[in-house]
Amino acid sequence: MNLILLGPPGAGKGTQAKMLIDAYGIPQISTGDMLREAVKNQTELGMEAKKYMDSGQLVPDEVVIGLAKDRIAQPDCDKGFMLDGFPRTVPQAEALDKVLDGMDKKIDHVISIEVPNSELLGRLTGRRTCKACGQGFHVMFDPPKQEGVCDKCGGELYQRDDDNETTVGNRLKVYEDQTAPLIDYYTNKGLLRPIDGVGSIEDIQTRIKAVLG
């Protein structure tokens, strides 16, 4: 099964994707995680991407399309994959269609997680992520057992550079302008599966599984 997780920053795409990995035995492909890894390793691509990420802008299409294309071609994606945070513009979606056509693959469902803007700021500014394994937490809605320590691997939790109020504001605007048009794009293809993203993390997982079967 090949999935896309679509939704504004903080909608819960990463949180839900991590839970779906085990349930469906398919890998999560997060372009955001791949870019943050490149920033951490101070690669040329990472240094270039950081400028956009720190201001809440999108990294140029050709960069992320290349990253996603190479990742989908890996053998662990043969039985399916979950795209988290890609595509994010109509040109990215069109490029993805071409890449998948060439591989004789197709997207089965686009899970569109809907959360009102009023809820997103609090989710993002309270997010904490494990430096070692990438597990996400929230200081109020999903706190770790011990403050600053990952429940899963004992790693150190950190706050993302782009989770401050100013950058979150830019990211939400960029989402409305450049990513929200994908809702129509995938509705027209009959692939959009809207999910109410307000409620407990477990309830939302149940709603997604009800759609995927």
User: Which of the stretches 49-57, 93-101, 180-188, 205-213 binds ligand AP5 when contact is defined by CB under 6 A?
Assistant: 49-57
Q: Quote the tokens at residue 19.
A: 């839970």
How far is it, in rounded angstroms, from Cα 6 to Cα 90?
A: 13
Residue 13 falls in the annotated catalytic set: yes
Closest CA to 86 of 177, 5, 192: 5
DSSP 177-195: IIITHHHHHHHHTT-EEEE
State the binding string over 8-47 for ligand AP5 (x if CB under 6 A, else -).
-xxxxxxx---------------xx--x------------
Determine, following the binding rule CB under 6 A, whether residue 53 of this chain makes contact with ligand AP5: yes
Residue 64 as a binder of ligand AP5 (CB under 6 A): the answer is: yes
DSSP state for residue 175 in the 8-state scheme: I
- How many CB atoms are closer than 10 A to CB 43? 12
* Near ligand AP5 by CB under 6 A: residue from 26, 50, 56, 130: 56
Nearest to 22 by CA among 210, 211, 209: 209
Three-state DSSP class for residue 98: helix
- Fill in the per-residue mask, 158 to 177: x = in contact with ligand AP5 (CB under 6 A), - = not in contact: ----x--------x------
**How many residues at the interface with ligand AP5, by CB under 6 A?**
36
Q: Pick the catalytic residue: 71, 127, 193, 207?
A: 127
Asked if 135 is part of the footprint of ligand AP5 (rule: CB under 6 A), the reply reads no
Extract the tokens encoding 204: 């939302």
Q: What is the CA angle 174-123-33, rounded to 5?
A: 65
**Residue with the CB atom nearest ligand AP5 in the bound state:** 32
| Residue 204 binds to ligand AP5 (criterion: CB under 6 A) | yes
Active-site pick, 69, 105, 160, 209 = 160
| Minimum CB–partner distance for residue 36 and ligand AP5 (Å) | 7
CA-to-CA dists, residue 194 to 6, 7, 83, 112, angstroms: 9, 10, 16, 5
Residues near ligand AP5, by CB under 6 A: 7, 9-15, 31-32, 35, 52-53, 56-59, 64, 85-86, 88, 92, 123-124, 126-127, 136-138, 141-142, 162, 171, 199, 201, 204
Catalytic residues: 13, 88, 127, 160, 171
